[in-house]
Structure 1
Amino acid sequence: MMDLPRLVLAKDLALLGASSRPLSAAAKSGRLLRLRHGVYVERDLWTNLNFWQQYRLQVEAAAESLQSPTIFSHHSGASVWGIPTILKDQPVHALTTFRGGGRSRAGVRRHLVEPAMAEAQEIEGLLVTSRMATVLDLAAFVPFAEAVVPLDHVLKPDAVRGLAAFAKAELLDALPGRYPLAVERRVRAVVAFADSASGSPGESYSRGVIHVSGFAPPELQYEVRNSTGRVAYSDFYWEGSRTVGEFDGVAKYQRDEFLRGGTPGQVVVDEKIREDRIRATGRNVVRWTWAVLWKPRALEELLSQAGVPRRRRPASGQ
């Protein structure tokens, strides 16, 4: 569950018969940040949020500003469920049953569905698509590599929210009749590819990019050993080129469970020692970050230079 700052609403002042002009003045001075018409947040609190917390707050702001009850879906529904997605340049997403056009406005991307499909659950005070519908709709909507992220996540139990893992059979059983056949085939392909062994959203997205780029599938969470025993676990491993692949997310240098009482600087030193021990076994190590994943072909170039084997040419349009 996210601990988010409280929104400041102009309509709350209106209920008291007060003017909202002080809010506009506070926004002009920089103390408040306007998220949507009549919806503000303290700028300092907003700045301290990471990007997915900011997106989640944008969803809440949309719920406060839209006139009719809204069912949030896709990335927005996922943000409420705590399901990771690739959020780069994403608007707020919601469902609509209205066929009259104008489905995307006021910063909200609306997805047309039949009325029978517009089922909702209330989570944290917001109406959202079900957890299963959310991940399936994402798989139907986003490119293959991005779809791997939420699918990998729901194959594992969510200990924070007390939610059970989905079995692949459950996901596949929900597909018939939900999408056009071509879309259903695409979703089935992502479900088949999904793997609960991925350790983080960054690893999941990396794995999707690796697949689309045409490389041979790596072993996940590979145990690197030498003559005296285990050296380390690696995110990815290709025996064909004896290459270890490591995704470095920012969490490794910030979160307590990774710091284990140390400092970010000590984590960097420990990672360097760990990498040296892996290299001492005769294996190559390739590391990448989110910055690499955002650049088209950058990860492909890194892995090609390391001699990682391919199973085919890179795919286009996935």
Structure 2
Amino acid sequence: MSPLPRLILTRHLAEAGASTRPLPAAVKAGSLVRIRQGVYVEASAWAELAAWQRYRLRIEAVAETAILPVTFSLHSAASVWGIPTIQRGQPIHALTLFRGGGRSRAGVRKHLVEPGTVDAEIVDGLSVTSRQTTVLDIAATVPFAEAAVPLDHVLRPDSSRGLPALTKAGLLAAVAGRYSAAAERRVRSAVEFADFRSGSAGESYSRGLIHMAGFEAPILQYEVRSSTGRVAFTDFYWERSRTVGEFDGIEKYLKPEYLQGRTPGQVVVDEKLREDRIRATGRNVVRWVWSELWRGELEGMLSRAGVPRRPRSSSGRSNGPGTQNRPWDTRI
């Protein structure tokens, strides 16, 4: 992860004998952003951060201003570990042993745990729940499609951090007795559904939505070939309708590892030519982006393309529309 901007803490200024009185004026003038009481960051640096980076910086701010040591959990622990999640509107999640401290306050959601049950590690100087606990707790508290994102990720080695892949067997073994019966069923279903072949958070989330919409399971990372050889590897493929599905994340147009020396404009042209080659094999192509996932448009797009549905008797039951909780509704 690229370095986050430096936090400006009022307590550090006070300890150094510097005045904190100019800070509110700097916020009003637009040169500073206040991200938490007593914590500021330069506005120019803040403007360049992606949403997930801003969330990560808010975690740092909570750690810096907490009266007692904090152990972060759920999406906050995942952020520190570098595990992708669906973060829309997430508060900062932290564990508490105090039964009167389970309410949100100042953007922090406290989760009650019993003494001696916290499975925590120190990562980047922060106390966080272990990778295994983190992804299982998320799976217990979010809709099915969202649970696929962190679970798919941890089934692959994290080469950037030198972390090994977790296994389904290990995850399932850790579930028993940790959650309510209903939550345990949700977690087990999500773990069994997880697949290390999903190449990104967007692909994982899409795969979960595809499943919940009742479509047949696609072939992942499918190799399209013509009479002259390989044409492309695709994110999703349905043989019965000869449909290729492609999640189009913004990363390929911005990150150097995807650009590979090309301009974003060249990537757009290359993607169009690649799609033309796929269509030339007699297959149809459906592409979607994050905004279409947020608007719930994926099901209609796949239906119009003729993607087949599963028989009703085999539909998944976990985290169906009647059981989807908001991420902060369930205690862990």
Residues 1-318 of structure 1 mapped to structure 2, 5 A cutoff: 1-296=1-296, 298-312=297-311, 315-317=320-322, 318=324
The answer as to whether partners of 2:101 and 2:110 remain within 8 angstroms in 1 is no
Greater alpha carbon shift after TM alignment, 213-222 vs 173-182: 173-182
**Contact 1:104/1:110 (8 A) holds in 2:** yes
The residue identity in structure 2 corresponding to 1:311 is R
Q: SS at 2:116's partner residue? A: helix
Whether the 8 Å contact between 1:2 and 1:53 is mirrored in structure 2 is no
| Equivalent residues of 2:102, 2:111 under 8 A apart | no
CA shift, 1:17, in A, is 3.1
Q: Distance in 1 between matches of 2:139 and 2:115?
A: 21
Residue identity in the other structure for 2:299: E
State the identity %. 67
Question: SS at the partner of 2:14?
Answer: helix
Query: Could you give the per-residue CA deviations for residues 282-302 of structure 1, whole angstroms, max 9, x where no partner exists?
Result: 101000000011013x10000
Q: Distance in 2 between matches of 1:27 and 1:254?
A: 30
Which protein has greater RCO, CA pairs closer than 8 Å, 6+ apart?
Answer: 2
SS at match of 1:116: coil
Asked if 2 retains the 8 angstrom alpha-carbon contact of 1:78 and 1:84, the reply is: yes
For the structure 1 residues 196 and 179, does the alpha-carbon distance in structure 2 shift closer, same or farther, using more than 3 Å as the test? same
Mean CA deviation greater in 244-253 or 117-126: 117-126
Query: Helix, strand or coil for the counterpart of 1:166?
Result: coil
Give SS of 1:117's match: coil
CA deviation profile, 1:77-106 (whole Å, cap 9, x unmatched)? 000000000011111111112212552111
2:120 and 2:283 map into 1 onto residues whose CA distance is 50
Q: Secondary structure at the match of 1:134?
A: helix
Shift of 1:260: 1.1
Comparing 270-279 and 58-67, the one that deviates more? 58-67
SS at match of 2:265: helix
- In the TM superposition, residue 148 of structure 1 has moved relative to its aligned partner by 0.2
**How far is 1:116 from its partner?**
1.9
Output the amino acid matched with 1:188.
R
CA–CA separation in structure 1 for the residues paired with 2:49 and 2:239: 40
* Amino acid aligned to 1:221: Q
- For structure 1, the residue ranges without an aligned partner over 5 or more in a row are none
Q: Measure the CA separation in 1 of the matches of 2:69 and 2:25.
A: 29
Distance 1:66 1:107 in 2: 12
Show CA shifts across 1:222-279 (max 9, x none): 0001111111011000001100000000001011111111100000000000001100
Query: When the two structures are superposed, what TM-score results if normalisation uses the length of structure 1?
Result: 0.97
Alpha-carbon offset, residue 125 of structure 1: 1.4
Worse-superposed segment, 191-200 or 115-124: 115-124
The CA deviation at 1:118 is 2.3
Larger mean CA deviation between 114-123 and 26-35 belongs to 114-123
What is the CA–CA distance in structure 2 between the aligned matches of 1:25 and 1:67, rounded to whole Å? 27
Between the aligned partners of 2:202 and 2:39, the Cα distance in structure 1 is 32
Q: CA deviation at 1:312?
A: 4.6
**After TM superposition, what 4+ stretches of structure 1 lie above 4 angstroms from structure 2?**
312-315
Aligned to 1:88, the other structure's residue is in SS state coil
Q: How many residues align?
A: 317
* Counterpart code for 2:251: A
Which letter does structure 2 place at the counterpart of 1:305?
A: R
Secondary structure at 2:199 match in 1: coil
Cα drift, residue 119 of structure 1: 3.4
